[in-house]
Structures are given as C-alpha cells and as structure tokens.
A and B are shown apart, each in its own frame.
Chain A
Amino acid sequence: MEKQGKLKILVVDDEPNILMPLEFLMRKQGYNVLIARNGNEAIESVDKELPQVVVLDVMMPDVDGYEVCRHLRRKQEMADTKVIFISAKAQDADIKAGYAAGADLYIPKPFSTRFLMEKIKALAVGEKVVTNN
C-alpha cells in the first residue's frame, strides 16, 4: 500500500475510447491510475502493482474479466481489493456470474461516470455498496 489518500486503481477495457474518459476522470480525482487493454495485461498489472480497486471490463479478446477477477481473488494479499465490473453484458445471468466471480459491484454499460466515481470512493473507504441493478 502506498501512502494514505493516493488510491491505486487499475482500469481494464479493450475499448480505447472507453479507457480514455475513465483514465481522465480517475486522474482528476487524484488516484494513482493503472491501465490495461486486455486480460493478460490486467493480470500482469494485478500481480505487479496490487491495486486497491480494479475497474474491469468483462468481454476482452484474450482473458475475460471473470477470469481476471478469479485470479485476483486467489491472491491473499489482495483480500481487500475492490472489484467493479463494467460490462455491455447486462442480463441478469451475466450480473450473477459477475458477483459469483467475486465482484463487489457490477455496472452495466452504458453507465453514469458520476455514479461510478461515487461508488469507487465509497468502496475505497470500506463502505459496503449495494447495487440496486
């Protein structure tokens, strides 16, 4: 863990035009932002950087978001890491699968960035977030 107040956050998505605004918002919030464009990059980053929050797309060309999440949950040192799925798969079954893989929150695309940022903030201070999706 780094010093207090500088939250380390990993944002994973294979769409550059989605990564771009998210990265912008995280930096503006003052987070320590890490970027991954696919599942393998994400796993590499997770292993190396141990981020406190991971914002994770589900459908990616190589390793999907569920797999990245499961990998992360197997690491003891990342027990407190919060995982937020952002996905274009918005059906009930997809959402259930996301929580089953170990997510703290599942947000279907398209979503409000304000909502996402609020939830990240809340999760970072240890609040339990309940989605009403």
Chain B
Amino acid sequence: MHYGLIIGLCFLYLALLFALASWAERRSAAGRSLVSNPYVYALSMAVYCTAWTYYGSVGRAATSGLEYLAIYIGPTLVAPLWWVVLRKIIRICKVQRITTIADFISSRYGKSISLGSVVTLICVLGIVPYISIQLKAITDSLSILTADSSSAWAGAAPGFPDLAFFIALGLAAFTIVYGTRHVEATERHEGMVTAIAFEAVLKLVIFLTAGVFVTYFVFNGFGDIMQQAQQLPDYQQLMTFDTGNSFSQWFWLVLLSMLAILFLPRQFQVAVVENVNEQHLNKAMWLFPLYLFVINIFVLPVALGGNLLFGGQAVDADMFVLAIPLSQGQELLSLLVFLGGYAAATSMVIVSTIALSVMISNNLMMPVLVNSSSLQSHFHRYSTGILLYSRRLSILMVLLLAYLYYHFVGEHYSLVEVGLVSFVAVAQFAPAIIGGIFWKEGTRNGALAGIVVGFLLWFYTLVVPSMVGADLLPATILTEGPWGVALLKPFELLGLTGMDYISHAMFWTMFLNTGLYVGISLLGRQSVREHRQAEVFVDIFKHSTVFESSVEWKGTAWVPDIRSLLVTFLGEKRTADALAAYYKQYPEQTDEWGSADPKLVIYAENLLAGVIGASAAHLVVASVAKEEEIRMEEVLGILKESQQLISSNHELYRTSLELKQTTAELQQANQRLQQLDKLKDEFLSTVTHELRTPLTSIRALSEILYDNPDLAREDQEQFLHTIVKESERLTRLITQVLDLERFESGRIELNLEEVQLQEVIAEACENLKPLVREKQVELLLELEPSLPPLLADRDRLMQVMVNLVSNAIKFCQPGSGKITVSCFNFEYDIKVSVSDNGSGIAPEHQEQIFDKFYQARHQALRKPEGSGLGLAISRKIVESHQGHIWVESEPGKGARFSFILPVQVSAPTVDATVNV
C-alpha cells in the first residue's frame, strides 16, 4: 500500500477525532453533555487497552501462552473494590481540586513540593517507555502495511530522523492543538473523553472483526485452530501454566495490573479527574471488565493462527493481527486493522501526554516559577500564557523522550516487556496512595522514602537490564553483577533467584517501598499541614460536605490580593464567577476591600490547585497571605469542632425526628383531648339541662305556695309532695353524676365480699315491690337455688339489679306488663337476665343505650323518670367486676337486659376510659 494513502488516512482520522471532540465540547457547553453518562465513562476507561493489548497480547500469547491474560484478570478482580477505593479517590480529588496523581500524593502529604516533583519524575520516566511502545506499534504496523511498496523510508529504520520521529512529532502537534487549545487551563476535558470513548469502540470492533476473519475465514472456527495448533512444537507449553515459578509470576502480574489500573496517569485522568458522577462507577465496575473480556476473546486464536501460518518465518508475533489479513490479500481489512491499532495507540498517547504535561507544568515548573522572586514580578502578568506554554513544551518533551527511548532501547524489546516495566514504575505509588487514604499515620517522609527507594530499585532491576539489552551498558552487569558483586545482579538481587524479572522487581520494590513507608511513618512525626491533610483524606466522606467550613487556616490576607491572584491564573471571567459562587454561599462576607475570611483563602487555594497544582497553589496563596503558625492543638480543636458539627448535625436531625414524632403524638393527644372536651361539654350541658327541669318545677311550685297562703289543703299537699319528689330527683341525679365520675376517673373502690347473687336479686325485687304493685305488672323470679358465691361489691350489684328491674317496670304497660328475672350458673360465669314485654328498643339504639344521657339526647326514648345515667353506671359496675352487660330486643315485643359475671373475680378492675 502506498504511504501517501496511509499517512493521509492517519491525518484524516486525527481530524475526525478533533471534530468529534469539538462537537462534544459544544454540546457540553449547550448543556447536553455526552460525558455525563456511565457508558461513555466506562468506555473511556478502556484507554487501558493500548497497542499493547491490540498487538502485544497476541504477541505475548504466541510466545508465552496464557500469561497475557494476567494483566486483564487483575483489573477484573479489583473492579468490585473500586466503590471503596476509587470512589474515595474521586471524592478527595473533587473536594481538593486535584488533577493529577502527583498532585494527589503531594496533597496528601502536606502539599509537599518534593514529593510532587518526585512522583512527576517517576511518572515521566515510567510512562515514557510505555508511550514509546505506542510509537513502536504504529511504526511497525506502518512498515508492515507498506512493506511491498518501495519507499524512501523503508530502509531508514535505524537512522535519524526515522519514521518514528515524525510520528512522535505529529502526535505531539496534535496533542498540543488538541489538549491545550483553550486559553484557560481547565482540569476536565470533555472532548477528549468523548474521543477516547469513540476510539474504544473503534478498536474493539476492528479487533473483533480481525479475530472473526482469522478464526472463521482463514481457519474453520476455534475448534479447527486448536486442533491444528496441537501440531505446534510448543503447544503444550503455551496452553498450560506449567513453568516452575508460574504461580508467583501470575500472582505478581495480577497484583501489578490491579495497581496499574488505578495508578497509571492516564487511568487516573479518565477514571478520577474526568469523572463527572460517582454513581457512574457502578456501571463501569462491570462494563469495563466486560470490555476486557470481549477484547480478549480472539487473542488466542489469532496468536495460534499466526504461529501456524508464519511458523519459522521472521514475522514479529506482535504484528500477527495485521500480518494475517495482509498475507491473505485482504487489503481493506488490513487497513482497518492498522487504523484500529492506530486508534488504540493514539488514545493512550493523547491521554498520557496530557496527564504528564499537567504534572510537569504543575509539579515541576510551577513551584520553581512562583517561588523565584526574580521571575515573580514578570510572572503574574503572563501567567496564563506561561501555563499553556509550559504544558505545550511538556507534551513535546514527553513525546521526544518517548522517541529517544524507542530509538535506543525500545526497538530491542517486545511491546509487553516494555509495558510491564512501566506498570512496575507506577506501582510504586500504591503504598503512599492506599496508605494515604486509609491510614492517617502515613507521613511525608515515609511516602518519600518508600517512593524514592522503590523507584531506584525499579530503575536498577528493570531499566538497567534493558539498557544492557540495548548494548548501552556492558552485559557483565547482568551476568556477574556490577563491579563483580554477584549479590547485586539486577535480576538476582541479594541472591533472590527462581523468579522472572518482573516478579523479582515487584517483590523487591514493593517490599522495600511498603516497609519504608510504614516504618518511617511510624517512627516520624507529621507536620501540622500533613496532619490536616491526612485527616481530610482518610475521613473524606465526613469532610466533603463541610469542607470549607472546617477551615484550618489562620492568618491575614486581603480580598483584593486574593482576587488579583485568582485573575492571574483564572482570568477575569472565571474569577468573577467563582467569587460570585462563593459569596452566594457566604452572603455575610461581602466586604470586597477588607480582610479575607479564612474560608475565602482556602477556597481560592483550592481553585488555584485545580489549575496549577496543590503545592504551587499553596505557594502563591502564601505569597499574598501572611499565614501564622497553627499549633497542633488548634488544628485538632478545629477538626474536633467540625466533627462535633457533624455529630451535632446528626443529633439535630435525630432530635428533629423525635420532635416530629412527639408533635404527631401531641396532635393525637390533643385531638383526643378535644374529643374528650367536647364530650365533657356535652355531658355538662346535659347535666345542667337535667338539673334545670326539676328546679323549674320546684321554683314554680314554691312561688305558688308562697304567693297563695290561702291555697286549698289538698292543693298544698300535692304541690309539696311534688317538690319533695323533684328534690329527690335532683339528689339522685347529683349522686349518679358523681358516681359515674368516680367510675370514669378510676377512683371507685369496691367493697369486695362473698356474695350470693340470688339473694341480692331477691332483695332488690323485694325493694321494688311497691313500684310493681303501683304499676300493676307481673314480676317473676327464676333463680337457681345454689350458685357459687361471688367475690363482689354487694351494694353495687344491688344497684345494677334495682336499675334494670325498675327500668323494666317503667317500660311496661301498666296492668299487662310481665317481667322475668332469671339467674343461673353458666360454666364459669353467672348469667343474670331481666326481660320485659314492653315497647322494646330499636336496633339502632341498642348499642348506645348504655351511654350516659343517651335517652336525654334521643328524646323519643324519653321516659317519665330517670336521670339517663342508670344504665351507664350499671355497665361500669358490671365491667369493674370483669363482667359484661348487653341488651337484646325486638321492638314492640320487649327487651332483655343480661349481664354475666365471672365466678372467679381475681381482682377488681375499673375501666378508667371514657365511654361515649
């Protein structure tokens, strides 16, 4: 294929990415962001799959077998833990406006400049080889694709400038235009994320297409490849985990990739910095492992197919996926495969270089620039420009370094070999980060010592040997050790043998790094600022809500200074917006010319940290704010206060819940009281009404007697008799009202004694004889002769019987009335019934007839005498003896009032509730 075509395609592709990114950013500006979507987020994480995956996995599988899977198993295993680890990191970065992994570590350990610089340096040195393998993959694939055509570049590989150099320059130019296009240096890149997600889809689809082609078109499916592959000489070795140190190798590779997925600068960029919503993690936690699974389906068939097709030929196993379609004459497919690999490589290069450039400018250049007094005066005027140029310069520098590594070292190694070296480099951040977010005691010195020693060991055990391999150092270092000291052999440090070189390096670096971090942290002390940051990082979920209110800054600063500082780095518009947002939150601080509140100072520092990094931001803020030394106790006090604020918030919340509950209860009680009040009013008005009636009679008759002394004797007697009767009625009413009140308030006392109920009934009926005779009714007694004795109040039961019998007499027709009183033992109860043949009670009244004054309120039931309280009191008495009273009646045929009393009355109970 012709170069021009392919180069043109590459540029077209980059232009497409550029257009896609711009479109995404315009959409975002219009409020229809593509990035606030968990699928885009999960796809952007697939920047993990670079040319390493696309080309290198096949190469690794073709030469070393299943081992290539380890670096996908690690991220898959660790994905469920993201909710604990990654979410915490995301939250910390949001709260502290952290934009790179170097900034993260530096911030955790007191915004340490040295730590930030060291981490940046390690990232650059560690990632540059990784970027170089992308260059290598692009260059190699391009060479293979164009191998047939005679080209000026074909034989130029080892010389300078070669093809890779121009590829590096091209990518640098694109990344600069693409990543630092804006005058403002913002922390999030929506366009980039959209483009990365697009590339993730593209590389997956093309790789699967190639896989399907190889498996089903070149061969006849998986079975066919496997069957044919059995004839390969190294088949057994490839398909089993049989090597002696295979277990430890797998363990270290899985662990390594677990750490890499979290701490590679580009993963940190897409997973943490570009995260817009923590909830997106939920989907990414299964979508991303799924992506890894799918992209690996055809790795083995392609690798084995390549071995079968090119056995013995000089074809780089890393390029099988491209070489197979090419060998089958599939030019279009080959071009597509090249494009997929190009997409995988460019996505990694773009994200990594942007992340590295931010680190370099924020953690290496900025601290120097803002700290240098000679530069400072000029600096403020041009700061935005300086920021952008330092980033652009960094991008160019990183890509040139990658080219140099490729040119001098990378060419001698496979993609995976180089990639793993980078993984081990970023794994050095693990102790300081994991420890930093879960362990408050970790100190800056511990982190620095661990990282530096880990890095040096990394360099010694992995980079030095690679330089030997590239003939830059004498081979004796590997075989005999430096200066002939065998204990220092880079692959067998201190005589540790039996491990592959990656596991060996991982073992030593992790062992010493973690050991030093923990050991020095335990021995040393944290500075105040470190302590503050440790507190915030470890307890981020407590601090993230009240962060700006839990200020641990003490000193003096002036609002105009802070403002001009913000304008320097953010520009007029963003400064105005940010301050407006601040004053909206704290409307009480509107003095724009006065001294700045500590909250404002911290707010400004956080804003600046998002642009120039935490340690540089701290420096520039310190230049305008005169900070006072805070004593440790004060910090602890402030932190305690904020904790108390939180717990008192909880307390408040709980109290308000309780209050709500109490209010509801009070409302209910109030309603009940109102109801009772209404009942009481009704009761009172009924009582007074019942009092007024006899009083009216008494008064009228008395006045007549008084005014008419000459009244006839029989008239006088009749009037006086009526007065006496009405007085008795009044007395009865008053007694009964008081009686009922005693029952209802529970103040009644029963005089319990052994009572023969049939005797009580007989006596009551005897007392009512005069009334019976007067009304000429028939009264029959049906009493069981021997009843068990009851423990009861004899007088009260008498009251009930008199009431029921006299009621019956009143309701009977004089002359024809017939009343039957019966009493018999009914299992454990004694049942008493009083039946009459009077007018009866309508069903609708039977329920309420025992309510006090029910008759009075239902005048149709009214009878000549009676207070309307007799039945209410009778019910109270029966119930206080643990009995039950009721009425059965058929209107017109009479009524039967019955009650039962238990023979065993254990203890008298009084129903104190008000019965309606």
Question: A: which residues have CB within 8 A of B?
Answer: 14-18, 20-22, 24-25, 28, 59-62, 64, 86, 88-91, 108-114
Contact = CB atoms under 8 A, between A and B. Distances in A.
Given A17-B725, A61-B859, A88-B689, A22 B700 contact: yes
Given A17-B726, A21-B719, A110 B695 contact: yes
A113 B700 contact: yes
Contact of B859 (A60, A108, A109): A60
B860 A109 contact: no
Contacts of A114: 703, 707
B725 A110 contact: no
A69 B627 CA distance: 94
14 contacts: A14-B862, A16-B864, A17-B694, A17-B722, A18-B700, A21-B700, A59-B859, A62-B860, A89-B685, A90-B688, A109-B692, A109-B695, A111-B699, A114-B707
Interface in B690-705: 690, 692-701, 703-704
Contacts of A24: 704, 715
Contacts of A25: 700, 704
B interface, how many residues as a size bin?
Answer: 20 to 34
Q: Which 10 A-B pairs have the closest CB atoms?
A: A21-B700, A88-B692, A110-B696, A17-B697, A109-B696, A110-B695, A61-B859, A88-B689, A109-B692, A110-B699
Contacts of A18: 693, 696-697, 700
Given A17-B697, A17-B725, 16 more contacts: A16-B864, A21-B719, A24-B704, A28-B708, A59-B859, A62-B860, A88-B688, A89-B689, A90-B688, A108-B692, A110-B695, A111-B696, A111-B699, A112-B699, A113-B700, A113-B703
Contacts of B726: 17
Given A88-B689, A91-B685, A61 B704 contact: no
A59 B715 CA distance: 28
Contacts of B719: 20-21
A20 B722 contact: yes
Contacts of A15: 693, 696-697
Interface string B861-892: 11010000000000000000000000000000
B692 A21 contact: no
Interface string B666-695: 000000000000000000010011101111
Nearest to A90: B692
A90 B698 CA distance: 18
Contacts of A64: 859
Contacts of A91: 685
Contact of A21 (B704, B725, B864): B704
Contacts of B708: 28
Contacts of B700: 18, 21-22, 25, 110, 113
A37 B287 CA distance: 93
Contacts of B860: 61-62
Nearest to B703: A113
Contacts of B859: 59-62, 64
Contacts of A21: 697, 700-701, 703-704, 719
B694 A113 contact: no
Nearest to B863: A61
Interface string B713-747: 00100110010011000000000000000000000
Given A21-B697, A88-B696, A112 B703 contact: yes
A95 to B, nearest CB: 14
A18 B696 CA distance: 7
Residue of A17, A88, A113 most packed against chain B (CB within 10 A): A17
B6 to A, nearest CB: 102
Contacts of B864: 16
A126 B861 CA distance: 39
Nearest to A91: B685
A127 B697 CA distance: 28
A111 B725 CA distance: 19
Interface string B816-845: 000000000000000000000000000000
Contacts of A59: 689, 859
Contact of B692 (A17, A60, A110, A113): A110
A6 B371 CA distance: 125
A53 to B, nearest CB: 17
A22 B692 CA distance: 16
A109 B703 contact: no
A83 to B, nearest CB: 18
Nearest to B699: A110
Contact of B693 (A22, A62, A88): A88
A111 B692 CA distance: 9
Contacts of B725: 17
A25 B699 CA distance: 13
A108 B690 CA distance: 13
A21 B703 CA distance: 9
B243 to A, nearest CB: 104
A129 to B, nearest CB: 20
Nearest to A19: B697
Nearest to A22: B700
Interface in B887-907: none
Contacts of B704: 21, 24-25, 113
A109 B698 CA distance: 11
Contacts of A61: 859-862
Nearest to B711: A24
Contacts of B694: 17
Contacts of A112: 699, 703
Nearest to B860: A61
B60 to A, nearest CB: 99
A109 B719 CA distance: 19
Nearest to B855: A61
Nearest to A94: B685
Contacts of B689: 59, 88-89
Nearest to A16: B864
Contacts of A14: 862
B650 to A, nearest CB: 53
Residue of A18, A25, A28, A60 most packed against chain B (CB within 10 A): A18
Contacts of A88: 688-690, 692-693, 696
A29 B718 CA distance: 20
B717 to A, nearest CB: 13
A96 B825 CA distance: 57
A113 B693 contact: no
